[in-house]
Amino acid sequence: MSAPTAPTEDRAPGAPPRGTKESPGRSKRVPLSAIARRRSLTGWTFLIPAAALIVLVNFWPMIQALFLSLQTGRGTRLSWAEPLWLNYQRLFEDETFRLTMSTTFIYLIIQVPIMLILAMVLANLLNAPWLRFKGFWRTAIFLPCAVGLVSYALVFRQIFATDGLANDLLTQFGILDGPVNWLGQTGTARMVIILGLLWRWTGYNMIFFLAALQNIDRSTLEAARVDGANGFKTFWYVTMPQLKPIILLCAILSTNGTLQMFDESYNLTNGGPGNTTMTVSHYLYNVSFRNSPNFGYAAAISYAILIIVAILAAIQLKVGDKRD
Whether 35 maps to a domain, the answer reads no
> Using CA atoms, how far apart are residues 285 and 291, in angstroms rounded to an integer?
9
Whether 266 maps to a domain, the answer reads yes
Whether 51 maps to a domain, the answer reads no
Could you give phi then psi for residue 299, rounded to 5 degrees? -65, -35
Whether 76 maps to a domain, the answer reads no
Q: Is the dihedral of CA 157, 158, 160, 166 positive or negative?
A: negative
Q: What is the mean pLDDT of the chain?
A: 85
- Per-residue pLDDT of 33-56, as tens digits, reads 777 777 778 888 888 888 899 888
pLDDT value of position 31: 61
Q: Sorting pLDDT into bands at 50, 70 and 90, what band is 30?
A: low
Whether 87 maps to a domain, the answer reads no
Tell whether the model's pLDDT for residue 321 goes beyond 70: no
Whether 305 maps to a domain, the answer reads yes
Q: What is the 3-state secondary structure (H, E, C) of the chain?
A: CCCCCCCCCCCCCCCCCCCCCCCCCCCCCCCHHHHHHHHHHHHHHHHHHHHHHHHHHHHHHHHHHHHHCCEEEECCEEEECCCCCHHHHHHHHCHHHHHHHHHHHHHHHHHHHHHHHHHHHHHHHHCCCCCCCHHHHHHHHHHHHHCCHHHHHHHHHHHCCCCCHHHHHHHHCCCCCCCCCHHHCHHHHHHHHHHHHHHHHHHHHHHHHHHHHHCCCHHHHHHHHHCCCCHHHHHHHHHHHHHHHHHHHHHHHHHHHHHCCCHHHHHHHCCCCCCCCCCHHHHHHHHHHHCCCCHHHHHHHHHHHHHHHHHHHHHHHHHHCCCC
Tell whether the model's pLDDT for residue 10 goes beyond 80: no
How many residues does the structure list for the chain? 324
Whether 119 maps to a domain, the answer reads yes
Tell whether the model's pLDDT for residue 96 goes beyond 50: yes
Tell whether the model's pLDDT for residue 186 goes beyond 90: yes
Residue 262 near residue 278 (C-beta atoms within 8 A):
no
> Using CA atoms, how far apart are residues 152 and 200, in angstroms rounded to an integer?
8
Q: Which domain holds residue 130?
A: 95-320
What is the CATH classification number for the domain harbouring 135? Answer: 1.10.3720.10
- Per-residue pLDDT of 199-211, as tens digits, reads 999 999 999 999 9
The total number of structural domains in the chain stands at 1
pLDDT value of position 2: 47
Share of the chain above pLDDT 90, in %: 41
pLDDT value of position 6: 47
- Per-residue pLDDT of 125-134, as tens digits, reads 998 888 888 8
Q: Sorting pLDDT into bands at 50, 70 and 90, what band is 1?
A: very low
- Per-residue pLDDT of 232-278, as tens digits, reads 888 888 888 888 989 999 999 999 999 999 988 999 999 988 899 99
pLDDT value of position 113: 95
pLDDT value of position 102: 95
Whether 291 maps to a domain, the answer reads yes
**Crossing angle (nearest 10°) for helices 95-126 and 186-214:** 40
Q: Please tell me which residue, 239 or 279, carries the higher pLDDT value.
A: 279
- Per-residue pLDDT of 168-184, as tens digits, reads 999 998 888 888 999 99
Residue 141 near residue 119 (C-beta atoms within 8 A):
no
- How far is CA 97 from its chain centroid? 24
